[in-house]
Structure 1
Amino acid sequence: MGLNRMMMGKGEVKVEDGSKHWTFREADNKTISFTVPKGIKRIKVVAVVDYAEDTEDYSSFYANIKNTINNKIWGEGISECEMLENINHVDIDSIVGVTPNKTYTLHFDCYYTTDGVTFSWGKAINSMTPTVEDY
């Protein structure tokens, strides 16, 4: 009997890689429920914030994803411009410690992202150290 079959027989869950993407329009001031897949302990959250530049005064673009129950921020990014020059830029790139099979209710404020938000998971991500813990 192979190792995978032996582990499955002992109640172990096979961890499969996967992802979920929301466009910036889908993630524009929306509350979304997300259920963590079986066996997943970490979610990688990625979004590229629009780059603020070319304005003669101050401008900024902000994006974040927050748990509506406990206000834990799963990811936060910003881009700021002052006098035609970008002075600060941080994209969303976090590893969130989660509970397998749990459904999270998250508020997305991610209109100012280049291509929306992507959640990724899998065996390699499960082994990463969380930057946010939301168990």
Structure 2
Amino acid sequence: MVLILDLQRATHATLHRLAAHLGDLGLPPSELNALANLGERPGGASTVSELATAIGGRPTTLTGILDRLQQRGLLAREPHPRDRRTVIVRLTPDGVDAAERVLAAMRELERRALADLPPDAADSAAAVLRALSQ
């Protein structure tokens, strides 16, 4: 067993289920992931670097995702108040609504996936995921 492969397969399947469930948003998994991560942050805002770290990507890769979300009116870019080199991305009101839908869909998918497992199994899985994220 290679746990990393199982994790990759589960991530791929989960993101595609979410994209299908939220098909009316017309967003690919990468954009759903960015919205969900922004939706969990205070004020729906983050620096590009912080968001890239949260989604496990590079800022340069994230730029295209953010461009598309901005074109759809789901986020706005603004200068950092203390660092001219840093850009903050912030969810717009439509972006907040979309992020809330994505997070609700994630919670429901998680609830259904874990429904038949003992509670300690979910806690153990969460511990493994945290360890792999370090």
TM category (shorter chain) comes to under 0.3
TM-score w.r.t. structure 1 length? Answer: 0.21
TM-score w.r.t. structure 2 length? Answer: 0.21
Larger Cα Rg: Structure 1 or Structure 2?
1
- Bigger fraction of residues in helix: 2
